[in-house]
Copies of this chain bind each other. A is one copy, B any other.
Amino acid sequence: MPYTPQQLSDRQDIVDVLNAYCRAIDDNRPDDVITLFTDDCVYDYGGDLGSFDSKAYAYKFFRAGTDKIYRRSAHYVTNVETDFVDDDMVDTVTYLAAWHEFHEDIPNAWIYGRYIDRFVRTAEGWRISQRTVVTLGQDDWPRAVTYMDRNVLPPRDRSGDGG
């Protein structure tokens, strides 16, 4: 801000990884999902899903979701914000709206959240080295979720009267 041509190129490469992630998830190609993260990536899904940093576990995690739980899905990523920590490290915040149809006979469900990622430049291109998922909301999601804390105004400031 302003962005150099190199930063605009890096930014697009990073967005391409986010898009490739969604496409691989929705295609049910969990092995391809894993290639977008570094081998030592730290995943934090919050709540019951918790944190993990084992590639073997990540493989099982994504395979179980895309193949065994969800019959179909559509992952939309928008609102990508980038913070260039240095030339080879970029922190990002991305909005996710993820629709799911289940193998179980339960209603289709949406989950709304943010991916808070750290990207690092590797020999194979930009990869995700840290991923934290926070939940903004949901419709018909079949499991308990842990919501992001929203800022709470002090009571004396709750004086708005508009919409």
Contact = CB atoms under 8 A, between A and B. Distances in A.
Interface in A28-65: 28-30, 45, 49, 57, 60-65
| Secondary structure call for the A interface | mixed
A3 B10 CA distance: 8
Contacts of A18: 79
Interface in A98-120: 99, 101, 108, 112-113
Contact of A9 (B2, B23, B95): B2
B80 A19 contact: yes
A76 B95 contact: yes
A158 B143 CA distance: 22
Chain multiplicity (copies) = 3
A1 to B, nearest CB: 5
Given A68-B158, A76-B76, A78-B77, A26 B97 contact: no
A78 B76 contact: yes
B151 A68 contact: no
Contacts of A158: 63, 67-68
Contacts of A86: none
A77 B78 CA distance: 7
Contacts of A12: 1, 3, 8, 11
Nearest 3 pairs of A and B residues by beta carbon: A64-B160, A61-B162, A63-B160
